[in-house]
Structure 1
């Protein structure tokens, strides 16, 4: 007989204790269903984001988003009945053979479902963590979170602009001020190693965007609340158009994904002196490229904030924006 395991929770956030339960269910049953409760009273992280963590980490698991689920919790007969009826309604008659949990409700929920009550690490000895503990300080307790989860707590700030507009200096300075890490422009490093006659091929430009993304993901897990990123795949896309008048399919896809990847876009202005280094093509090109970047952002419908003035003025403007920014605005 095919076995079906069920577990449920708010997963606010999904931590390694939750993962231990899910992975136990995967090992012990043929099919696993995870119900993710909507929980606005506990977290401002949207239901879809929390469900996406499980879908990303466990592609074969069936995830059900529990919209408008009961917010009441407790051990009274009335509350138990509310919870049991809600889960029964979501399942719509589907047979559950094993109910997995590490909470008191495992007993009554498994009985209501006619399923085996499979308690997993209820004493929290295998994974000594709870959602409450993690919520108290996500960054201190990051070791209990998958990088897939942790990155959604980081505000990823990207700085765009033509060459010599102060992106690197600004990203480095803000990382220092906020005691976090920053993501250097991978394209410059790659260009210095691989350029021939100051040019790169279409495939090489795609490799830049891919390499930048890999390093950026690593930096996201190292970050403390903020990651300050120097350029992204959209910049590489613009360089490809400039030098080749075309873009590879892979780079075009990465640039499209970049439209939604970052929480804040800042465009660094050209009102600072041009630094004429050997790897740059001149102040005229800087002005032209800046206009093209601005137009591309508008076409992509990406809201951006222009940063002008001295380094101190730019830093202060970014800090003012960050002070009021909410990654997941309360609905």
Structure 2
């Protein structure tokens, strides 16, 4: 049986790496990918390994914890690398070693495997992980959507109606030269409301439609996506008007902690915009309390932002300057 091995940091995984893996899959009976731990990236080892597992579920992915950081081609360094790889493989016999680097020679020799080089001159896929780290958006065509989604910080703005979420989302997107996700529920409500009400199933449809639209915006974003409301708010509306929510809507709300990296709540310190489609300032204050209570019950951390638009932008900027996604 032909068994191919390739390895790397995949920080992040890009189409050059995928060419390597897919070439091995086409040529081998079994493929093993070793993902190295890497101090130069904040993206966790498991996240990088899971990208490959999702894209290629039939291959074997080994997480290389405490991988050697020594680099170069001295006999000592090469032996450290070779011994580490052999220890990871244990008793697995490798027939072909896939790479696009000079280390392919000594590693394949150490494993008694065929030295299989792929796209050494980067002519088929002219990209590197360094270029992507420096500017993911500019190099977007070389990154799979599964990977790119994990490179974007999803920032959600919550708050009762008429707290400035929509305006602030758009201003922040302009400030950071990126995308903002408009409130899908507003668009849906305007098309389907009857006497200013929606059914529980319609509120469920809002949450699902919002997520689908949000996924599209993430793929066009630059470092951040600013999202106007999410399924937590939609669920609260369902509880407010109907006393309960569908199982699907509850499930979507429960998964919000996995999807949003930073939560801001817009304060009620701006004048209430009393338009026909709203229920009054008293209801605004009541709904705001429900948002705070829900976030507390879920154990979700958030930052309350207030003041003028300029002050709110500065508050967001202060938080994001200190935030690291991983």
TM tier, shorter chain?
over 0.9
Which runs of 5 or more residues in structure 2 are unaligned?
none
Which residue among 250, 253, 259 is the counterpart of 1:255? 253
The residue aligned with 2:38 is 39
- 1:216-235 aligned at under 5 Å gives the runs 216-235=214-233
For 1:162, which of 160, 176, 184 is the aligned residue? Answer: 160
**Cα distance in 2, alignment partners of residues 279 and 30 from structure 1:** 62
Q: What is the TM-score with the length of structure 2 in the denominator?
A: 0.95
Q: For residue 264 of structure 1, what is the aligned residue in structure 2?
A: 262
Deviations 1:118-169 (A, max 9, x none): 2111111100112223233333222221222222222221100111110001
Distance in 2, matches of 1:63 and 1:279, equals 53
Structure 1 counterpart of 2:114: 116
Distance 2:23 2:246 in 1: 43
Distance verdict in 2 for CA 1:191–1:37, change over 3 Å: same
Q: Distance in 1 between matches of 2:147 and 2:114?
A: 30
Residues 137 and 220, structure 2, Cα contact 8 Å, conserved in 1: no
> Residues 82, 306 of structure 1: CA spacing in aligned structure 2 closer, same or farther, 3 A cutoff?
same
Aligned to 2:4: 5
Taking structure 1 as reference, are residues 205 and 27 closer, same or farther at Cα in structure 2, changes over 3 Å only? farther
Pick aligned residue for 1:296 from 294, 297, 300? 294
Deviations 1:208-246 (A, max 9, x none): 112111111111121112211100111111112222222
Partner of 1:15: 14
Secondary structure, counterpart of 2:68 in structure 1: coil
Asked if the contact 2:136–2:222 (Cα under 8 Å) also holds between the matched residues in 1, the reply is no
Correspondent of 2:70 among 69, 72, 76 = 72
Q: Is 1:187 the equivalent of 2:185?
A: yes
Decide whether the 8 Å contact of 2:12 with 2:48 is kept in 1.
yes
| 1-structure distance, mates of 2:110, 2:200 | 60
The corresponding residue for 1:215 is: 213
Residue 136 of structure 1 corresponds to 134
Q: Is the 2:6–2:97 Cα contact (8 Å) retained in structure 1?
A: yes
Corresponding residue for residue 278 of structure 2: 280
State the SS of the aligned residue for 2:269: coil
SS at match of 1:222: coil
Tell me the CA shift for residue 48 of structure 1: 1.8
- 1-structure distance, mates of 2:263, 2:312: 13
Counterparts of 1:92 and 1:249 in 2: how far apart (Å)? 46
Secondary structure, aligned partner of 1:199 = coil
Distance of 1:248 and 1:34 partners within structure 2: 42
Q: Which moved more, 1:152-161 or 1:273-282?
A: 273-282
Q: Within 2, Cα distance between the matches of 1:169 and 1:237?
A: 22
Q: Distance in 1 between matches of 2:277 and 2:27?
A: 58
Deviation at 1:182, TM superposition (A): 0.5
Q: Judge which range, 117-126 or 243-252, deviates more.
A: 243-252
Q: CA RMSD in A?
A: 1.6
Q: Tell me what 1:81 maps to.
A: 79
Shift of 1:190: 1.1
How far the C-alpha of 1:174 sits from its partner, in A, is 1.0
TM-score (norm 1): 0.93
